[in-house]
Amino acid sequence: MGAGFGLIYGVTGRFHFAFASTFLAAPLGAVLLNEAGVPLVPAIVVGVAIGMLLGVLIEIVVYRPVAERSRDYGLLAIFVSSLGVTVVVENVVRLIWGSNYRNLPTGFGVSPIKLGSGVTASNLQVVGVVVAVVLVGGLWAYLRWSRRGVAIRAVSSNPDLAESVGVSTRVMFALVFAIGSLLCGAGAIVFAMEKAVIPDMGTSPTFFAFVVAFVAGTKSGPLRFGLTGLAIGVLQSVILIWVSEVWQEVVVFGILFFFVALRPVFEGGSLPWLRPGRRAPA
Amino acid sequence: MNIWLGYLNEALIIGMFALSVNVLIGYSGILSIAGVATGGVAGYLAGYLSAMHGWAFLPCLFVGIGAGALIGILLSLPALRLSAEYVLMLTLAFASVIVSALVAIPALGGQNGLLGIMPVHIGGKILLRPDELLEFIVPLTAICFLACWRIIYSPFGRVLKGIREEPDAVRALGKNVLSYQVIAFAASSAVAAVGGVALVFYNQLASPTLFDFNVATLVIAIAVIGGLGNLWGSMVGALLLVSLQPILEKIVDVNPSSAVLWQAIVYGLLLLVIVRLRPEGLIPERASWRGLRSALARSRRKASPAEAIAPVAVAPSLPSQNGNAAAGVSLKAHGLEKHFGGITAVSDLDIELSPGMITALVGPNGAGKTTVFNLLTGQIPPDRGEVELGGASVSGLPPHRVVARGMARSFQDVRTFTRMTVLENVMLAVGEQTGESLPALFLRPLAVRRRERQVREWALECLGFVGLSEQADERAGNLGYGSQKLLAVARLLATGCDVLLIDEPASGIDREALEPVMLVMERLRASGKTICLVEHNLEVVTRLADHVLFIEDGKVTETGTMDDIRKQPRLATVYFGHHG
């Protein structure tokens, strides 16, 4: 999830808040198909595909024209339109399918597994970890070795140059949105199996994806995203055990806050506002 | 009826948040979504004081505003050093921390919120019904609106708008950009705080959902849909979006639970459509009755030739800021040195400029000419070396202080504030404006007005000097490039500085536009200014420069007149290539 957002943001520079929509669309698609009698595995595959399709559509129909039109105000325009998409998708879903919880069956019995002393995890969570590892590993391999992967990295580091050597940034952006949404959708399926499908399920994970992406550094590789995601996940569980659930978000976002706030310090060497000549105003 | 008044109240409160967003995003160009959360802190604080300590409304309000402004200042300090996307992230993180902390802290009532907030009294009357509540919401909104209005349409607001477009140019014209942004952040937060306190007292409840991300989204949507950069737009947008739900419910007869959803869908779609088709929002920034009238008047008037130059002698009616305009100011710098990583941009460079003389820096691209300007004006601090302006050292001073001492620079790529008028461009550059301080703006309106009139006259005079008087009310972005170069000179002039560093006044303009630029330069010299040019057009240099420094690889390798330089076969090869 974090890797997906990071990929999209790092490559295209689009502040894709509507990730939440994909996060909702994939499991919702799966649930609805499943309820309509489609077997679970194809339903999940189609669900993820729907999520990918939505991601790509958002890029092509919404972001691209906006970005090409407003160069200077790009960030604001993209952010605002992604808010718009999120709001629309969430509420259309509520309107059509209601705001109720829906459960996505797992297809296997969920049972706790003991992992050493006192630490338990359900087999579902293990599946989740495996899925995450496979996806992040796959993404890493893809970016590293495939032709397209190289092209994506080229677009990421210098879009104009990539364009001039014949890589279409438009195609690559769309591809990146597809891959990012794939990761997101897969994550969302596991999430939905563990919890439930509700229309606003996407918001909070999207925030967490922001945290992962920005803490890891938006232009870094998938492995770093994976590790950062893991670290934040561990941190969350630690807080859950030692403090309480309500403090989870406070701490995670607090970390993000200080991380971002102190960035100039890391980069500038000293506290920048103490440097002579750049004093904060009296 | 009361239901509608209730919605009106809500719209006004949300409108206050939208105003705060507008001041920050619309006018300062800072993309922050912390406003609603700041309002949340202020609202909770006020609510807590009221519920637990029985404070009355007004003291709670003032505490809330103070807290809001403080948060704004604290938040702005890290935020303003970051690039836009990190500011967005920072404020998002801030908002998330606040909302989740409001839930997490038991003393604040958790998810259910803080109850038992005293209703507002006015003159012994307790306000409970929507029509009664209107009595305190309306004045609050009006005060916020007027305060924002006063801030935006003032010299302070003018500088903010300049910063939104070209922060470096504003800095180079002698304004402390950071302090303006911090103050804008604080003011915006204070307005959000009023909204937050009003919301809490209106509901007699402080709960996390009043300030959560959905509300923040709605507020941004309102500001964007209404029109960023237009305060009326925010109010209209708020009324529109908030009334959407009751209209759907009561008039279109949608059932209440889906009316909320439809409202969200409509505003989401509206957001998409607006961003795509009308990025300036429903009511664009310059929409005003006066603007409409003057546009009509302009179209009736005959267009005057764009580059016509009206020779007017400069009459420095304002003393230059360091007070020795008559004597003329010279600049001395020695031993300037700057390295970027392993690259030596400038080394051991000495330069002397004297009043009434034009000195030109010439040399191949990348020789470090513009870097010299950057070092002299403090844009980039030199690694070594001293800069003396009229005998006093200005080394190590930030650009805006250097301007205050009497030296200003222009940029090669003009950096016009394209969305402001020509006159506003020049007015912005004038130093020491009373109306640039917020306290003065509210406490000394007459002094502000008096100074503003002087500033206006002086700016018109500067425009006259470069021959742009006719275009004063035109949008600066509509000027030809040659005129924009002249405008840049007028801005320099308006700062009142005596030492002017002008970066490529003639580049990128066609031949007809060249003559006015050269005339202006000559007239500047005649008026005793100390001028230094960076210029590639040797025709211009030959005609204007009294003294030429030839710069290669960050060093001065030859000095003299242009003819002296031309006679050196080696330099000719370096500069002109093979046909030298």
Question: Nearest CA to CA, how far is A16 from chain B (Å)?
Answer: 12
B112 at the A interface (CB within 8 A)? no
pLDDT band, very low/low/confident/very high, at A223 (cuts 50, 70, 90): low
pLDDT of residue B506: 80
Strands (E), B188-285: none
Residue of B nearest to A210 (CA): B89
Q: Which of A13, A88, A246 sits opposite B104 (nearest CB)?
A: A246
In this predicted structure, the answer to whether residue A272 has a pLDDT above a threshold of 50 is: no
pLDDT of residue B321: 38
Q: Coil, helix or strand for B352? A: strand
Half-sphere exposure for A33 (CA within 13 Å, toward CB): 19
B101 at the A interface (CB within 8 A)? yes
Beta strand B358-362 with B547-552 is: parallel
Q: Which of B86, B89, B265 sits opposite A92 (nearest CB)?
A: B265
Q: What is the sign, positive or negative, of the torsion defined by CA atoms of B553, B558, B560, B561?
A: negative
pLDDT band, very low/low/confident/very high, at B301 (cuts 50, 70, 90): very low
Residue B237, both tokens: 């947008």
Contacts of B103 in chain A (CB under 8 A): 246
The residues in B 260-289 lying below 8 A from A, measured between CB atoms, are: 261-262, 264-265, 267-272, 275-276, 279
Per-residue pLDDT tens digits for B78-101 = 777 777 777 877 888 888 888 888
The Cα–Cα gap between B539 and B511 comes to: 11
> What is the amino acid identity at position B510?
D
Give domain status of residue B283, yes or no.
no
The residue behind tokens 């364009």 is A163
Give domain status of residue B50, yes or no.
yes
The Cα–Cα gap between B225 and B25 comes to: 13
Residue B468, both tokens: 């742009």
The residues in B 173-212 lying below 8 A from A, measured between CB atoms, are: 176, 178-179, 182-183
Q: What is the sign, positive or negative, of the torsion defined by CA atoms of A7, A8, A12, A13?
A: negative
Domain of residue B392, CATH code: 3.40.50.300
Q: Which of B510, B420, B542, B519 is nearest to B472 (CA)?
A: B420
The Cα–Cα gap between B101 and A126 comes to: 31
Per-residue pLDDT tens digits for B230-240 = 788 788 888 88
Q: What is B292-311 written as a DSSP string?
A: HHHHHHHHHSPPPPTT----
Contacts of B84 in chain A (CB under 8 A): 75
Q: Evaluate whether B430 touches B493 at the Cβ level (below 8 Å).
A: no
Summarize the confidence of residues B18-25 as an average pLDDT: 81
Q: Evaluate whether B81 touches A273 at the Cβ level (below 8 Å).
A: yes
**B185, B211, B237 - which closes a domain:** B211
Q: Which of A88, A256, A261 sits opposite B265 (nearest CB)?
A: A88
Q: Where are the alpha helices (DSSP H) in A146-221?
A: 147-157, 159-164, 169-194, 203-216
Per-residue pLDDT tens digits for B323-360 = 444 456 788 888 888 887 777 778 888 888 888 888 88
pLDDT of residue A23: 67
Per-residue pLDDT tens digits for B383-410 = 888 888 877 888 878 888 888 888 888 8
Could you tell me which residue, B504 or A146, shows the higher pLDDT? B504
Q: Evaluate whether B72 touches B189 at the Cβ level (below 8 Å).
A: yes
Give domain status of residue B189, yes or no.
yes
Q: Coil, helix or strand for B337? A: strand
Q: Coil, helix or strand for B535? A: coil
pLDDT of residue A106: 59
Q: Which of A62, A76, A187 is nearest to B277 (CA)?
A: A62
Q: What is the ipTM of this complex?
A: 0.72
Contacts of B270 in chain A (CB under 8 A): 84
pLDDT band, very low/low/confident/very high, at B314 (cuts 50, 70, 90): very low
Whole-Å CA distances, A184 to A3, A32, A55, B441: 9, 18, 10, 51
CA angle, residues A96, A99, A104, in degrees to nearest 5: 95
Q: Do B268 and A81 touch (CB under 8 A)?
A: no
pLDDT band, very low/low/confident/very high, at B580 (cuts 50, 70, 90): very low
Summarize the confidence of residues B25-30 as an average pLDDT: 78
pLDDT band, very low/low/confident/very high, at A277 (cuts 50, 70, 90): very low
Summarize the confidence of residues B278-300 as an average pLDDT: 59
Whole-Å CA distances, B106 to B101, B114, B117, B197, B385: 9, 10, 17, 20, 59
pLDDT band, very low/low/confident/very high, at A98 (cuts 50, 70, 90): low
Q: Coil, helix or strand for B166? A: coil
Q: Do A278 and B25 touch (CB under 8 A)?
A: no
Summarize the confidence of residues A12-22 as an average pLDDT: 58
Per-residue pLDDT tens digits for B531-577 = 888 888 888 888 888 888 888 877 888 888 777 777 777 776 776 65
The residue behind tokens 């259309």 is A92
Give domain status of residue B317, yes or no.
no
Whole-Å CA distances, B182 to B30, B32, B74, B379: 11, 13, 9, 20
Give domain status of residue B307, yes or no.
no
Per-residue pLDDT tens digits for A25-43 = 666 666 666 666 666 677 7
Give domain status of residue B44, yes or no.
yes
Could you tell me which residue, B279 or B32, shows the higher pLDDT? B32
Question: What phi and psi, each to the nearest 5 degrees, are found at residue B527?
Answer: -85, 5
**B211, B232, B254 - which closes a domain:** B211
Give domain status of residue B128, yes or no.
yes
Question: Nearest CA to CA, how far is B34 from chain A (Å)?
Answer: 12
Looking at every residue in chain B, the average pLDDT score rounds to 78
Q: Do A91 and B268 touch (CB under 8 A)?
A: yes
The Cα–Cα gap between B255 and A207 comes to: 32
Q: Which H/E stretch holds residue B539?
A: helix B538-544
What's the predicted TM-score (pTM) here?
Answer: 0.78
- For a pLDDT cut of 70, what percent of chain B falls above it? 89
Domain region containing B98: 2-211
- For a pLDDT cut of 90, what percent of chain B falls above it? 0
Give how many domains chain B has, as a whole number: 2
In this predicted structure, the answer to whether residue B246 has a pLDDT above a threshold of 60 is: yes
The Cα–Cα gap between B545 and B357 comes to: 8
B89 at the A interface (CB within 8 A)? yes
Q: Do B82 and A249 touch (CB under 8 A)?
A: no
Instruction: Give the DSSP letter of residue A195.
Output: S
Give domain status of residue B56, yes or no.
yes
Q: Which of B31, B101, B381 sits opposite A277 (nearest CB)?
A: B381
**B188, B211, B234 - which closes a domain:** B211
The Cα–Cα gap between B117 and B205 comes to: 6
Residue A227, both tokens: 């590790």
Question: Nearest CA to CA, how far is A13 from chain B (Å)?
Answer: 9
pLDDT of residue A145: 67
